[in-house]
Amino acid sequence: MQLTSFLHRMQFAFTITFHYLFPQLTMGLAPLIVILKTLAIRTGNRQYDDASRFWAKIFGINFAMGVVTGIPMEFQFGTNWAQFSRLTGGVIGQPLAMEGTFSFFLESAFLGMFLFGEKRLGKWGHWLAAFLVFLGSWLSGFFIIVTDAWMQHPVGYTLLPGGRFSVSSFWELLTNPWALIQYAHNMCGAVITGTFVMAAVGAFYLLQRQFADYGRIFLRVGVICGVMASLFQVFPSGDLHGKYMARYQPITTAAMEGLFKSQTGAPIVILGQPDEEHETIDNPIIADKVLSFLIYGTTTAEVAGLNAFPKDQWPTNIPLVYFAYHVMVGLGTIFVAIMVLAAFLLWRGKLYQSQWMLWIIMLCAPFPYIANTAGWLTAEVGRQPWLVYGLLRTSQGYSQNVIAGNTMFTLLGYMGLYLLLGILFLFLVPREIANGPASNSHPVFVVTASKES
Amino acid sequence: METLWFVLVAIMLTAYVVLDGFDLGAGALHLFIARTEEERRAVISTIGPVWNGNEVWLIAAGGTLFFAFPLLYASAFSGFYLPLNIVLWLLVFRGIGLEFRMHVDQLWRTLFDGFFAISSALLAIFFGAALGNVMRGVALGENHFFFEPLWTTFRTGPDTGILDWYTCGAAILALVALMVHGALYVALKSNGTVNARAHNFARRLLPLLVVLTLIGVPVSAIVRPRTLDNFTDHPLLYVIPMGVALSLASIWIFERQAKEKPAFIASCSYLALMLAGAAAALYPALLPSTGGDPTRDITIYNAAAGPYALRVGLIWWGIGMCLAVAYFGLVYRMFRGKVRSETAVQPNP
């Protein structure tokens, strides 16, 4: 029993973590490509067109990876979490089906036009196609967040006989305050990935002394958007999310912060390892009273610790929640520092010559991926032992008719397959980056209208 | 309301089969239809801009099934755990083979073309077997759940696997039908040798398709006698098999006359009517049980979500589908006509 449930959880965790490496870049790049297209039209500078075409190629590879790893997600609710799907399909089936109808059709239709139809669409038509791809990818994110937010903070439902849930207010479901806050935080996280990757490629070109004109464009757009996104991520979106979490999932907040005992003027732990057995933090570096202030705005407020709650409601993996959260917050803070500094150098006109800063920017590219993954780990592992917070436990949700042997088979299958995909991705993207933005003269086939059809 | 959603889900699945059907079929055939790199590119570019959108119908149908009939989604997807996961892997291979072939060198391109062809063919086979399983029914328990291994004794009966003689037959029928469909599509969109080979394939496969259809339809009634109930109660439904026969005849005739567009449309109508026939035979069941106990069937009544969910769903689904159809109209219009080779050199600064 234990093993079966563990394998189902591992398969979902593995496939979703791998999947989300790709959409975060597509969702982050989409608005940046729209910005590049806008600049191309407004300035009439060809280089912006080349730049957006270059990023469209990277976008296309990521999009394909996102699609092929995303389809299994849509079906895994049914294959591995059948009990959960049976009980909650009447609620979360709605946003998931809406994602298919509203965003996937939009995205797939206009991505095809954006990638293959530049000549035929004209500059404004092509801009519109880029914009609609952006809209589609961001809508898709919204519906997924609505689904997750309902699991984190269920609203707008009624309970039917047999333990089934049914949506009672469609509007409440879509405007779940948790969803709106989480959406802002998540999409901003995606933009951070997009801006860091764009800036890193720019820095790479300048350090390589190759495609330097494009390098400067990428750095400028990446740093200006990146500094805004990094700041917004901490305040207000992260701040709001934290406060909301403390209000509705105080146990999770306690686990994230490693706060074992309720106290007034609660400290914030910056470093240290949580010791569940003795309910302390080893070798702590702490800042007194900061946690009370962050949550309630006063240094004297009482913050509930884990000891305020029965143990069967504690998150099942407290060290992971704690570290995932600390990694996310730590990296988020570093991102602000780097981007503010880079923006300052850009403003003083020194960024393109500062080798050390270019090195830092280039090497930073992987870290937003880690921060985004850590953030999702915090949210999802922090929600345990619940699937639907306070209503349905994870142990009640998995497919009991699928035995461990079958789940192990598919989990290993996904691991092997995704390993291949990862290798392929790491081969293709650096190649496109090395080819650079100006190498666009591949012969391509185009479809043209002809009379005999 | 439940009946309406049954029809809507059936329409979405039909749209998926008709649309993705031609790119699956084209994929399964493209190694034979196209021999040189240039020919392969020509075939690939007939489906390049549209395959992803076609596949979205599957995802959208899956999502709609989830919200309209949660019990079916939960039971069928977990019960068909193994084949469904294998289908997902094949979809991964197919997407990668198709999307990334242009990014790799010639040597690897051959491999990617192989991935694309094999996964396309296997997908057609699995989809056929899936439909066969639904038509035959599965051993549903009292809680409406079940689990099927990939195969057991290859016999229909109490302990069936995904594959038995009946579902294997359905799989072959599906593969042939989609290959014909794909060949007709490639013929419609191409010129020269590719066009000639596609016609050749369509003509050779057609007799096989006719034979398989003539065997397959009556056999379904033997495997699950209840298949015919709706038809005996509402004789008007016999229009559907007659339509199937008519569509097959039209494919044959139009293909003889080399009328590409009508032949392809007839093939679309053949596929749509075959699925309509299956849906008519099943209704109101979504997944029948084999035990002979109809209370164990998953039907539209015991599987449906609450009435409010179905009502509110109808509003946004209607809007969403209108938009989707509009996008499809736009894309197919933009990429209409035959493909031709052209070197598009983009200006360098």
Contact A46 B336 (CB under 8 A): no
Q: What is the mean pLDDT of residues B23-38?
A: 88
A307 DSSP assignment: G
- CB count in 10 Å sphere of residue B84: 22
Number of domains in chain A: 1
Dump pLDDT digits (tens) for B155-189.
777 777 888 888 888 999 999 999 999 999 998 98
The residues pairing with B182 across neighbouring beta strands, listed in sequence order, are none
Is B296 in contact with B138 (CB distance < 8 Å)? no
d(CA B80, CA A238): 41
Contact A106 B323 (CB under 8 A): yes
Q: Does the residue B270 lie in any domain?
A: yes
pLDDT at A41: 92
Facing A401 at nearest CB: one of B68, B78, B340? B78
Minimal CA–CA distance to B181: which of B37, B35, B19? B19
Compute the nearest-CA separation of A377 from chain B (Å): 25
Q: Indicate the helix (H) or strand (E) that contains B38.
A: helix B37-47
Is B183 in contact with B205 (CB distance < 8 Å)? yes
Structural domain of B295: 2-334
Compute the nearest-CA separation of B280 from chain A (Å): 24
**Whole-Å CA distances, A274 to A5, B40, B131, B299:** 26, 59, 53, 51
Residues sharing a CB contact under 8 Å with residue A292, sequence separation 6 or more, in sequence order: A264, A265, A266, A298, A299, A300, A301, A302, A303
Q: Does the residue A421 lie in any domain?
A: yes
Question: Tokens 């305020």 sit at which residue?
Answer: A308
**Whole-Å CA distances, A408 to A88, A387, A403:** 25, 22, 9
Residues of chain B positioned with their CB less than 8 A from the CB of A89:
66-67, 69-71, 73-74, 305
What the block records as the tokens of A156 is: 């707008």
Portion 41-70 of B in contact with A at CB < 8 A: 41-42, 45-46, 48-50, 52-53, 55-56, 58-64, 66-70
CA atoms within 13 A on the CB side of A180: 9
Contact B63 A97 (CB under 8 A): yes
Pick among B55, B57, B81 to test the A interface (most A CBs inside 10 A): B81
Angle, to 10 degrees, between the axis of helix A404-435 and the axis of helix A2-19? 10
3-state class (DSSP) for residue A447: strand
d(CA A113, CA A96): 25
B306 pLDDT more than 90: no
Q: Does the residue A33 lie in any domain?
A: yes
Contact B78 A64 (CB under 8 A): no
**Whole-Å CA distances, A45 to A49, A52, A164, A217:** 7, 12, 58, 11
Contact A166 B147 (CB under 8 A): no
pLDDT at A417: 94
Contact B64 A97 (CB under 8 A): yes
Please report, as a single letter, which amino acid is at residue A170. F
Residues of chain B positioned with their CB less than 8 A from the CB of A402:
78, 81, 147
* Residues in chain A with pLDDT values less than 70: 1, 439-453
The residues pairing with B71 across neighbouring beta strands, listed in sequence order, are none
Question: Tokens 């899936």 sit at which residue?
Answer: B130
| Nearest-by-CA chain A residue for B41 | A445
**Whole-Å CA distances, A333 to A234, A337, B2, B120:** 8, 6, 52, 47
d(CA B89, CA A69): 9
- CB count in 10 Å sphere of residue B191: 15
Residues sharing a CB contact under 8 Å with residue B218, sequence separation 6 or more, in sequence order: none
Contact A116 B335 (CB under 8 A): yes
DSSP letter string over B45-100?
A: HHHTTTHHHHHHHHHHHHHHHHHH-HHHHHHHHHHTHHHHHHHHHHHHHHHHHHHH
Q: Does the residue A41 lie in any domain?
A: yes
Minimal CA–CA distance to A155: which of A240, A244, A80, A250? A244
Is B129 in contact with B170 (CB distance < 8 Å)? yes
d(CA A43, CA B36): 43
Is B341 in contact with B193 (CB distance < 8 Å)? no
Portion 135-164 of B in contact with A at CB < 8 A: 145-147
Q: Does the residue B344 lie in any domain?
A: no
pLDDT at B340: 62
Facing B100 at nearest CB: one of A85, A96, A428? A428
**Backbone Cα Rg of chain B:** 21
Chain centre to alpha carbon of residue B165: 20
pLDDT at B191: 83
Q: Indicate the helix (H) or strand (E) that contains A322.
A: helix A318-347
Residues sharing a CB contact under 8 Å with residue A168, sequence separation 6 or more, in sequence order: A156, A157, A158, B308
pLDDT at A439: 56
d(CA A63, CA A67): 6
Mean pLDDT: which of A220-229, A293-302, B241-250, B332-341 is highest?
A220-229
What the block records as the tokens of B248 is: 């097959």
Question: Tokens 């002809």 sit at which residue?
Answer: A450
What the block records as the tokens of A401 is: 């008719």
Q: Does the residue A270 lie in any domain?
A: no
Dump pLDDT digits (tens) for B115-154.
999 999 999 999 999 898 888 888 888 888 888 888 887 7
pLDDT at A441: 41
B349 pLDDT more than 50: no
Number of domains in chain B: 1
pLDDT at B332: 81
Helix intervals (H) in A20-81: 23-43, 46-80
Dump pLDDT digits (tens) for A102-142.
998 898 888 888 887 788 888 888 999 999 999 999 999 99
pLDDT at B42: 85
Compute the nearest-CA separation of A228 from chain B (Å): 31
Q: Does the residue A306 lie in any domain?
A: no
pLDDT at B144: 84
Residues sharing a CB contact under 8 Å with residue B233, sequence separation 6 or more, in sequence order: none
3-state class (DSSP) for residue A296: helix
d(CA B69, CA B60): 14
The residues pairing with A393 across neighbouring beta strands, listed in sequence order, are A386
Q: Residues of chain A with pLDDT > 70: what percent?
A: 96
pLDDT: which is higher, B16 or B50:
B16
Q: Residue A268: what are its φ and ψ, rounded to 5°? A: -110, 135
Residues sharing a CB contact under 8 Å with residue B200, sequence separation 6 or more, in sequence order: none
Dump pLDDT digits (tens) for A273-331.
999 888 888 998 988 888 898 888 888 888 999 999 999 899 989 999 999 999 999 99
Q: Does the residue A453 lie in any domain?
A: no
Q: Does the residue A70 lie in any domain?
A: yes
Structural domain of A243: 2-247+321-435
Portion 80-109 of A in contact with B at CB < 8 A: 80, 82-83, 85-91, 93-94, 96-102, 104-106, 108-109
pLDDT at A1: 58
d(CA B217, CA B5): 25
Contact B309 A93 (CB under 8 A): yes
Question: Tokens 């209840």 sit at which residue?
Answer: B226
Compute the nearest-CA separation of A94 from chain B (Å): 5
Contact B78 A402 (CB under 8 A): yes
Q: Residue B245: what are its φ and ψ, rounded to 5°? A: -60, -40
Facing A167 at nearest CB: one of B71, B261, B309? B309
Its ipTM equals 0.89
B346 pLDDT more than 60: no
Minimal CA–CA distance to A322: which of A366, A367, A284, A368? A284
Dump pLDDT digits (tens) for A163-193.
889 899 999 999 999 999 999 999 999 999 9
Is A134 in contact with A33 (CB distance < 8 Å)? yes
Is B143 in contact with B290 (CB distance < 8 Å)? no
Question: Tokens 């940046």 sit at which residue?
Answer: A32
User: What integer best gives the mean pLDDT of chain A?
Assistant: 90
pLDDT at B175: 93
pLDDT at A426: 93
Q: Residues of chain B with pLDDT > 70: what percent?
A: 97
User: What integer best gives the mean pLDDT of chain B?
Assistant: 86
Q: Does the residue A379 lie in any domain?
A: yes
Supply the pTM of this predicted model: 0.91
B205 pLDDT more than 70: yes
Of B16-30, B193-207, B291-305, least confident by mean pLDDT is B291-305
**How big is chain A, counted in residues?**
453
Contact A450 B76 (CB under 8 A): no
**Is the peptide bond between A31 and the residue preceding it cis, with omega within 30 degrees of 0?**
no
What the block records as the tokens of A380 is: 């999802």
The residues pairing with A157 across neighbouring beta strands, listed in sequence order, are A167
